[in-house]
Amino acid sequence: MREIVLDTETTGFEPAEGDRIVEIGAVELVNHVPTGQTFHVYINPKRPMPEAAFKVHGLGDDFLRDKPLFEQVAQDFLDFIGDAKLVIHNAAFDMKFLNAELGWAGLPKLPMTQAIDTLDMARRKFPGSPASLDALCRRFMIDNSARTLHGALLDSEILAEVYLELIGGRQPDLVLGAAHGQTADQGSAQVSAPAKGRPAPLAPRLTEAEATRHAQFVENLGENALWRRV
């Protein structure tokens, strides 16, 4: 099973008001294991960056000026995601922007059924609790100290860890499902070392008096006692 954990950064909140995507980051999972395959691109939005948005992600006009336009990277993006499920935190927001950009580029839009919304998952699993990405990192003890600003690829990598916790944490199928010849200890999955026998047995904790009383108890059970058949 192939899934793509995805995030975008934008100039604002509404493509209908002229806001555009400025960054896309995506991480591939196969059978819930990160494969190391990613998609990451900065995009020239063809408009000035509002100060409020700049404070969120730090992507300014000078940095984005020489970056490709969305229509120049759109097909590469579609080829990367294919028909995989898209794991997105607040999927309605990112899908709204992606479909607006795809429409402006004259390309097919993505169906909402292709998206898995981790924000909705978190709210259903922990009703009444904060469900932001930072809050979920605190809940699951995931290190997000590098997230001083929003960044699409970093946020996708963090979200991949959050998603695995939301669906039940690290499972045995992470080992069995390692893809493309990779071992399951790559990415964020963890593999436990095989259990080893104790080099020397522990000293008995049963006292001599307790052992004597137990022997007397078993003797009084009789010859046909179930204890004697074990």
* Sequence-distant (≥ 6) Cβ neighbours of residue 131 within 8 angstroms: 119, 122, 123
8 Å CB contact between 197 and 183: no
Can you list the alpha helix ranges (DSSP code H) found in 86-220? 91-104, 118-125, 133-140, 152-166, 173-176, 208-219
Q: Could you give the 3-state DSSP secondary structure of residue 133?
A: helix
What Rg do the C-alpha atoms of the chain give, in angstroms?
27
The active-site residue out of 40, 57, 150, 214 is 150
The Cβ-side half-sphere exposure at 46, using a 13 Å CA radius, reads: 10
C-alpha separations of 229 from 25, 137, 217, 218 in Å: 64, 54, 15, 12
Task: Give catalytic status of residue 150 as yes or no.
Answer: yes
What distance in Å separates the CA atoms of residue 183 and residue 202, rounded to the nearest whole number? 35
CA 36 to chain centre: 13
Residue 230 burial (CB count, 10 A): 5
What distance in Å separates the CA atoms of residue 107 and residue 93, rounded to the nearest whole number? 19
As annotated, the active-site residues are: 150
